[in-house]
A and B are shown apart, each in its own frame.
Chain A
């Protein structure tokens, strides 16, 4: 009667489908909470899951319920101590005691709904609707990667691709059509022949029977030989078609000013911006190259680790970074096959006279090659108000403003506090209408 089953190895996440449906349902509310939550995150844990709390609106499950108040009701309790029949007990003041928690609308006694998002869910929502602008397919000649898709069956192929089902089906149809005798049929005749031979033919009729049987047996075997069980024409192979995978190669240049004028606060903000950018690219564009360039009065290409975590100090010459970028571009990223993007962060200070050089470099060399160039300037919170208009700002801002006027694919923004980063980031990389 008893029967034990060990289910522990059954697939987990039976509820994944339900969870996804729930997430979709509460998407709008979750999105809002997620974008608020980034403000409170430190630089290292931007890409972790998050505990969030959303209003129950939209995910309530209403039923016809009796209201917790009103009318007459009588209830039974346990643990009477001093009450006797007829005692009157003062009701607690409104909102306290029983009326309080139970009185919410959905009958669940909760106003907000708290739960944990996984890292992936968090990031998905976080980067929803962002993309690299103007990503185009370049250099079709250079296609190197293919994807294989199943596409029906073919008569040729390698043995590992034989479709046994299809092959046997064809073989069966052919055998049926050509009337190949079944093994059982042959065996039957053979058995009868054996039978007569072992007992010895007794009569004329037996002998005649034996000879007809033998002829029949020969015929059967002949036709079994002629119509083989499996013929090469039966064989089918699963056909795989090659599809070229579109090759949208992209490279993102991250340029950061690490000179002495950038204080801890500015560097922290700039790094946060780049971490966000880095995360976004890693998540959305697996094939994207990222080049990190940092500069003081001289610039160099560095690896990720150095870019984010090492310290340096010195003067400020922005054009060195642009030069470095041009050099890397020429060395490794021919425009014909790469989409080129750049993001630059700085406090806006620059060596006098360098501004004009920057303008020249940008307008003549960089912008014609770039799909998009984003510049963020880290400013003091107090300064932010002064820089409300696009034209006012530090030297670099002034200089870049001319570039912006001339080039459509150039954007620039101010960041003054951590909470600006995400909105600015969204603005810079918001999905463009298709005409862009």
Chain B
């Protein structure tokens, strides 16, 4: 508003109060909406204690969750790590809901609260609201209501059928959770009215084109007998929509042994799997977006004189440790840091837009030098996922900066082979390889249900399409199959087929 107000820092020192939070929030919001032009859900910022953070974190980060022993296990595990000081707690958790809920820990200092608000309440929030995967797969308006319902439903089942019976189903469903996601939207089930409308339409058409002469044309019903058996199988597969990659969906709809409440439990697990599906595919982008947003906002605040140097130092210290990328031979190396990669690429896009080099003109002709990085970024955040984002925007500049190289590892070979490095010949391969390593279709085993003859032996047949000869971990595979058998009630078999030559590699069965 006035010059005087702008030059006075928002806060001084580490202590926070709700007044300071509100003031700071408003300043952050001003930059986020009016400068960056973000589009967010309304925010609800909740302050919680360390213990509550542990609670939330171990129940897959949701504020409401049904009870299950595995969450208790994660809790004791994380508590242990935290008490011993092996790992810090998250500063925040943010939930893709409308209003967007973010949890901030009470122990955070005020500079960190500012950072966290900018990061979660605006960065992640914008991403949740705008990215196509979230728009398509999750329903931010209803998720909290659904979780509330599911929690009550599970508790009610436990009361009615006993803890053990509920646990059995949930254990089995959790084991198959990664395969409880529909990757492609299926056409929605026609409602009764639509079915009736369609039948009416059909009849009207038949009536309008009725010609009694057709009745006199002889039909060829004598060759029906020969193709009967394969026909039957094809009809069955079509009726059950096979092959089906969403194993939990298939079980829920077709298992011959489950009761209604058991199917509903599976449906709940499926909902949660589906809810997290977009998050698993957009780790880099989501963090890149949020990190860029907080970085931009705190710098803007600092430039306006709203942050003291001390606060800025603390924020930058935290920021730089979050985006630090250790080298492959460093002791703490745990693969590429999604914050570093995401933030790096986003920053790089900004650079390409405003200050391109000749190389960038060649690689990114449509955005190089366009100057309008805000629009380019918002478009990227809205329309890509990790895999396509890297494929599209990882520049040679970034590859050189991180000194990326790719390593081939053939189990039958005594050596690893360096397949490409950050040079002219390697840029495209590295980009391709890196993108593929974030493709959920490649990281996760491709397992589908191919047949289940409900009129015959009722065996549930699964097929694992083996890519690059990478096998499944055998012990967990067999454990999961046992869980599946429990849900299906009859024999379950899994056959591994090589993707290239379609030869059978292994077969296993639980009966």
Interface residues of A (CB under 8 A from B): 1-8, 10, 12-15, 17-25, 59-81, 83-91, 105-107, 113-116
Q: Which residues of B from 455 to 502 have beta carbons under 8 Å from A?
A: 466, 468-477, 479-480, 483
Say yes or no: is B421 at the interface (Cβ < 8 Å to chain A): yes
Nearest residue in A to B434 (C-beta to C-beta)? A76
A75 to B437, CA, bound (A): 7
B328 touches A79 (CB 8 A): yes
Known: A1-B43, A4-B45, A22-B76. A77 touches B407 (CB 8 A): yes
B474 touches A73 (CB 8 A): no
Q: Which residues of B from 390 to 447 have beta carbons under 8 Å from A?
A: 402-411, 413-423, 425-426, 430, 433-434, 437, 443-445, 447
Known: A22-B69, A83-B418, A87-B417. A105 touches B409 (CB 8 A): no
A257 to chain B, nearest CB (A): 44
Nearest residue in B to A79 (C-beta to C-beta)? B327
A72 touches B59 (CB 8 A): no
B423 touches A85 (CB 8 A): yes
* Stretch among B50-58, B264-272, B346-354 lining the A interface: B50-58
B405 touches A83 (CB 8 A): yes
B129 to chain A, nearest CB (A): 13
A69 to chain B, nearest CB (A): 6
A14 touches B55 (CB 8 A): yes
Choose one: B52, B79, B175; the contact of A61 (CB below 8 Å): B175
B325 touches A78 (CB 8 A): yes
Given contacts A13-B55, A83-B418, A85-B420, 4 further A-B contacts (CB under 8 A): A2-B22, A63-B178, A75-B406, A81-B327
Say yes or no: is B47 at the interface (Cβ < 8 Å to chain A): yes
Contacts of A2 in B (CB 8 A): 22, 25-26, 29, 43, 45
Contacts of A19 in B (CB 8 A): 72, 75-76
Known: A62-B479, A85-B423. A79 touches B329 (CB 8 A): yes
Choose one: B22, B177, B405, B411; the contact of A69 (CB below 8 Å): B411
Known: A1-B42, A5-B45, A76-B433. A15 touches B75 (CB 8 A): yes
A361 to B407, CA, bound (A): 86
Contacts of A5 in B (CB 8 A): 44-47
A67 touches B79 (CB 8 A): no
A60 to B406, CA, bound (A): 33
Choose one: A60, A71, A86, A90; the contact of B471 (CB below 8 Å): A71
22 pairs from A and B in contact (CB 8 Å cutoff):
A2-B29, A6-B47, A7-B103, A12-B55, A14-B59, A18-B58, A24-B163, A60-B476, A64-B476, A74-B407, A74-B408, A75-B407, A77-B336, A78-B328, A79-B402, A84-B418, A85-B420, A85-B425, A91-B413, A91-B415, A115-B79, A116-B80
A18 touches B404 (CB 8 A): no
Choose one: A10, A66, A91; the contact of B416 (CB below 8 Å): A91
Contacts of B54 in A (CB 8 A): 15
Instruction: Indicate the member of B59, B416, B473, B477 with the most A CB atoms within 10 Å.
Output: B473
A63 to B179, CA, bound (A): 9
Say yes or no: is B378 at the interface (Cβ < 8 Å to chain A): no
A26 to chain B, nearest CB (A): 8
B69 touches A24 (CB 8 A): yes
Choose one: B328, B406, B415, B437; the contact of A88 (CB below 8 Å): B415
Say yes or no: is B383 at the interface (Cβ < 8 Å to chain A): no
A6 to B21, CA, bound (A): 12
Say yes or no: is B213 at the interface (Cβ < 8 Å to chain A): no
Known: A15-B71, A72-B468, A86-B417. A66 touches B426 (CB 8 A): no
B47 touches A88 (CB 8 A): no
A12 to B51, CA, bound (A): 7
B508 to chain A, nearest CB (A): 12
B77 to chain A, nearest CB (A): 7
A72 touches B409 (CB 8 A): yes
Nearest residue in A to B420 (C-beta to C-beta)? A85
Nearest residue in A to B330 (C-beta to C-beta)? A79
Nearest residue in A to B401 (C-beta to C-beta)? A78
A86 to B425, CA, bound (A): 12
Say yes or no: is B161 at the interface (Cβ < 8 Å to chain A): no
Known: A64-B476, A90-B414, A114-B80. A3 touches B406 (CB 8 A): no
Contacts of A66 in B (CB 8 A): 443, 445, 470-473
Known: A14-B55, A15-B75, A73-B470. A3 touches B44 (CB 8 A): yes
A231 to B67, CA, bound (A): 49
Known: A76-B434, A89-B415. A21 touches B409 (CB 8 A): no
Choose one: A21, A64, A106; the contact of B68 (CB below 8 Å): A21
Contacts of A14 in B (CB 8 A): 52, 55-56, 59
Contacts of A87 in B (CB 8 A): 417-418
